[in-house]
Amino acid sequence: MWSENDIPISPVSISDMVRLVEKRDKVKVIRFDVAEPYFPPPEKALESTCKAVLEGYNRYSPTKGLVELREGLKNFLEETRSVSYSIDEIIVTPGSKFSSYCVFASLLKPGDEVLLLTPFWSSFKAIPMLLGIKRIKEVLTDPLYKVNEERFQNAITKRTKLVVLNTPNNPTGGILDKSDLKFIVDLAAEKGFYILSDEVDWAYTYDGHVHYSPAALSNGFERTIITDSFSKVFCMTGWRVGFAAGPRNIIDKMNVIQQHTVTAPVTFAQKACLDILLEYKEYVKTVVSSALRKRNMVVEGLKSITRLESTPPPGAFYIFPRDRFMVNSETLAVELLNKAHVAVAPGTIFGEGSEHNFRICYAIPDEDLKEGGERLRVFFESAST
**361 contacts ligand PLP (rule: CB under 6 A):** no
What single string gives the DSSP state of each residue in 184-212? HHHHHHHHT-EEEEE-TTTT-B-TT----
Hey, is 318 helix, strand or coil?
Answer: strand
What phi-psi label fits residue 159: left (phi over 0), alpha (psi between -120 and 50 degrees) or beta? alpha
Shortest Å distance, C-beta 382 to ligand PLP:
32
The secondary structure of 225-237 as a DSSP string is: EEEEESSSSS--G
Q: Give whichever of 96 and 160 is closer to ligand PLP, judged by the CB atom.
A: 96
Element (H, E) at 328: none
CB of 175 to ligand PLP, least distance (A): 13
Using CB under 6 A, count the residues that bind ligand PLP. 13
Count of helix runs (H) and strand runs (E) in the chain = 12, 14
Of 93-101, 211-219, 244-252, 255-263, which segment contacts ligand PLP by CB under 6 A?
A: 93-101
Among 121, 193, 221, 358, binds ligand PLP (CB under 6 A): 121
Q: Which amino acid is at 25?
A: D
Q: Pick the closer one to ligand PLP by CB: 277 or 305.
A: 277
- Cα dihedral across residues 136, 137, 140, 141: positive or negative: negative
Q: Which stretch binds ligand PLP (CB under 6 A): 42-50, 89-97, 214-222, 282-290?
A: 89-97
**Amino acid identity for residue 225 in this structure:** I
Whole-number minimum distance, CB 13 to ligand PLP, in Å?
12
Asked if residue 48 binds ligand PLP (CB under 6 A), the reply is: no
Residue from the set 108, 200, 336, 376 that interacts with ligand PLP by CB under 6 A: 200
- Closer of 10 and 290 to ligand PLP (Cβ): 10
Beta partners for 196?
Answer: 164, 225
33 near ligand PLP (CB under 6 A): no
Smallest distance from ligand PLP to CB 317, Å: 10
Return d(Cα 37, Cα 290) in angstroms, integer. Answer: 11
User: Is residue 125 involved in binding ligand PLP (CB under 6 A)?
Assistant: no
Residue 167 DSSP symbol: S
| Residue nearer to ligand PLP on the CB measure, 97 or 375 | 97
Q: Which of 236, 275, 245 lies closest to 85, judged by CA?
A: 245
Instruction: Give the footprint of ligand PLP on residues 237-256 (CB under 6 A).
Output: 237, 242
Report the nearest approach of ligand PLP to the CB of residue 65 (Å): 14
